[in-house]
Amino acid sequence: MNLKDKKVVLHDMSLRDGMHAKRHQITVDQMVDIATGLDEAGMPLIEVTHGDGLGGTSVNYGFPAHSDEEYLGAVIPKMKNAKVSALLLPGIGTVDHLRMAKDLGVSTIRVATHCTEADVSEQHIGLAAKLEMDTVGFLMMAHMATPEQIIEQAKLMESYGANCIYCTDSAGYMLPDEVTQKIGALRAELNPNTEIGFHGHHNMGMAIANSLAAVEAGAVRIDGSVAGLGAGAGNTPLEVFVAVLDRMGADHGIDLYKIMDVAEDRVVPMMDQPIRVDRDALTLGYAGVYSSFLLFAKRAEAKYGIQARDLLVELGRRGTVGGQEDMIEDLALTMAKEKGLI
Amino acid sequence: MSKKLKAAIIGPGNIGTDLLIKMFRSEWIEPVWMVGIDPTSDGLKRAEEMGIKTTSEGVDGLLPHVIEDDIRVAFDATSAYVHAENSRKLNELGVIMVDLTPAAIGPYCVPPVNLKQHAKELEMNVNMVTCGGQATIPMVAAVSQVQDVEYGEIIATVSSRSAGPGTRKNIDEFTRTTAGAVEKVGGADKGKAIIIINPAEPPLIMRDTVHCLTKDTPDEAAITESVHNMIKEVQKYVPGYRLVNGPVFDGNRVSVFLEVEGLGDYLPKYAGNLDIMTAAGLRTAEMFAEEAAAGTIELPARG
């Protein structure tokens, strides 16, 4: 693989996807500490939001330690060069949240839908584009659709005004060949000015390999997370990815030692549990299930005595999509009843 | 003289057609007119084949016939954009408007919670909230009737095939309207609504989850009884409304897990989200008819 001099724009997820792994309890001080470290290391884009995006605060997904306004209001003024992005899932957040984020200085809005339901994003993408924000369409659970469907949905988002489209492996299910195929198809079919991005999870141990495949196939933006802090087995660990890109001579613009230090000194010490491919995280990837289901399934196991792995496999079989966290407790109750446990 | 109220349906789409089929079975409402805007539409042809009068000239095509055909109630299944005008024109002639669009000019109506009150007050325009609201607000109310609910949250999951272009284009309207009605009708101090669209095949039956956070420790026995009673009330007009799990109690959290299967009249059975709207709309008009027949309300006078 030759990535020499290839431009790669990295986007850190530790303060958004990482919120899942921290049950949305990252403090404002921790956010500012990590974000300033990333800024000094040269990270161009940092996402700051509730794990489930703007307005994600809920019983269903978890109440965060602080509001989106508080986090964004604390982090953005401290950034010297880095820009801050926010995630928005239509059906959870609304254009009111989008305007709030814009007013606080968020420069990039990423509007996320299930990979076959892009038409719910028209209002939000349209408004972000009108406000002249960097507007990203984020197609989640992209392993659940064919390349043809992905292209069709990406074109919808492009038509609403997105200037960048992501192929998002929310379940950490994809293997490199699938990434090559889907990113390659997007690059071939979308407007040449539309950027392509890839967001991976490490549930099958493929996050680095998949991200490399994405760059080779034409993706410019790659999501990752310092120390891998993210849902499931985490996101593409950015310090590792930077070292790999460095060896390959790609143009990433990050100071390797500085990002290593942010990972080791600032992120790892605040982890509640090691971010690793344990059997439940592996099951997410294997069964194609949304990564943020991990801790909910573990909690249901502890409460109802049904193995998290069994819950996740069944949720995968049912075609559950992102956001359906309520179905985890529902399924645990149903299975516990069947087994006579309750 | 028949006690049935004569009705018009505006919008001959899936919702309007399903409503028409349900109306043929009603003891209280008699469908007379179907109103559309496209003379070649399948919906108008279907209505004509079912033996009711049609016009393709919109509400203006219906107005000259309102008095002579004694139309007393109209169902608007068009869009929020045209509803206000439709309602104004028909209200002027003394026609009660049941609003199935997200326009929400009139008060929210969730039949087992506040329909009786609206009927007694002869509200001339009632809004049916949203599909997610119809499916979940009775449960929020079941809890808040027992004790204070500081926060009510609902998650509605619908199949991709049952989520129409209107819902998709303006999904924020769903979350806002539903959250507002969780407060106003459900009785929660603060409301939150989430909608998920799932593309699985075969399509999944509508699922709804309701989380309430009570101010004080929940009275488990009283809430459980209230929830079961409310389920029975909804089942009177949506027989496929089922409690799958719960109520579950966890600290001050009360959670209820529901499934809504439709009758499969015109819409497929999995589209319980659409069925509960048409069934609730019809139930609403029936209550007005019942109250009028009982003499507790007097419909606007006609010469």
- Residue A181, amino acid: Q
3-class DSSP state for residue A305?
coil
CA pair distance B193, A95, nearest whole angstrom: 15
Which of the four pLDDT bands, split at 50, 70 and 90, describes residue B121? very high
CA pair distance B145, A265, nearest whole angstrom: 52
Per residue in A241-286, pLDDT (tens digit) is 999 999 999 999 999 999 999 999 999 999 999 999 999 999 999 9
Paired tokens of A232: 């499931």
CA pair distance B65, B38, nearest whole angstrom: 19
B176, B194, B255 member nearest A58 (Cβ): B194
pTM of the model: 0.96
B174, B198, B255 member nearest A321 (Cβ): B198
Range A94-98 contact pairs with CB under 8 angstroms and sequence separation of 24 or more: A94/A55, A94/A124, A94/B172, A94/B175, A94/B176, A95/A123, A95/A124, A95/A127, A95/B172, A96/B172, A97/A54, A97/A55, A97/A68, A98/A54, A98/A124, A98/A127, A98/A128
3-class DSSP state for residue A277?
coil
**Of B119, B68, B122, nearest in space to B93 by CA:** B68
Task: Identify the closest residue of chain B to A122 by CA–CA distance.
Answer: B169
For residue A285, list its beta bridge partners. Answer: none
**Of A113, A321, A291, A262, nearest in space to A202 by CA:** A291
CA pair distance B179, B169, nearest whole angstrom: 18
CA pair distance B102, B82, nearest whole angstrom: 11
Interface test with A, best of B149, B151, B196, B207 (most A CBs within 10 A): B196
Cβ neighbourhood burial of A25 (10 Å; 0-12, 13-18, 19+): middle
- Reported ipTM: 0.97
Q: How far is CA B132 from CA A91, B110, B114, B174, B275, in A?
A: 12, 11, 17, 8, 11
DSSP code, position B204: P
User: Is the CB of residue B35 less than 8 Å from the CB of residue B8?
Assistant: yes
CA pair distance B79, A21, nearest whole angstrom: 42
DSSP code, position A201: B
| B131-144 vs B171-184: helix crossing angle, rounded to 10 | 20
Paired tokens of B135: 């499916």
Residuewise pLDDT in 10s, chain A (342 residues): 999 999 999 999 999 999 999 999 999 999 999 999 999 999 999 999 999 999 999 999 999 999 999 999 999 999 999 999 999 999 999 999 999 999 999 999 999 999 999 999 999 999 999 999 999 999 999 999 999 999 999 999 999 999 999 999 999 999 999 999 999 999 999 999 999 999 999 999 999 999 999 999 999 999 999 999 999 999 999 999 999 999 999 999 999 999 999 999 999 999 999 999 999 999 999 999 999 999 999 999 999 999 999 999 999 999 999 999 999 999 999 999 999 998
Catalytic residue among A20, A24, A114, A124: A20
Q: Do A326 and B244 touch (CB under 8 A)?
A: no
The side-by-side arrangement of strands in the sheet containing B29-35 is B53-55, B29-35, B5-10, B71-76, B96-99, B125-127
Paired tokens of A99: 């305007």
Q: Do B248 and A59 touch (CB under 8 A)?
A: no
Q: Do A59 and B204 touch (CB under 8 A)?
A: no
Residue A65 contacts by C-beta under 8 Å, 6 or more apart in sequence? A24, A25, A26, A27, A28
Note if B109 is an active site residue.
Answer: no
Positive or negative: CA dihedral A271, A272, A278, A282: negative
CA pair distance A229, A232, nearest whole angstrom: 9
Per residue in B242-299, pLDDT (tens digit) is 999 999 999 999 999 999 999 999 999 999 999 999 999 999 999 999 999 999 999 9
Res B303: pLDDT = 62
